[in-house]
Structure 1
Amino acid sequence: MDEHTCVVRFGADSLDRIALELVALGTDFTLDGPPELLDHLRVVAERLLRPAGQNPVPEGRGQRRWRATS
Structure 2
Amino acid sequence: MIFKVYYQENRFEVPVRENTQSLYVEAASEREVRHHLKDRNYNIELVQLLEGNHLEYEQSSQNYEVESIE
Q: TM-score, normalised by structure 1?
A: 0.31
**Larger of the two Rg values belongs to structure:** 1
Q: Which has the higher helix share?
A: 1
TM-score (normalizing by structure 2): 0.31
Greater relative contact order, per chain length (Cα 8 Å cut-off, separation 6+): 2
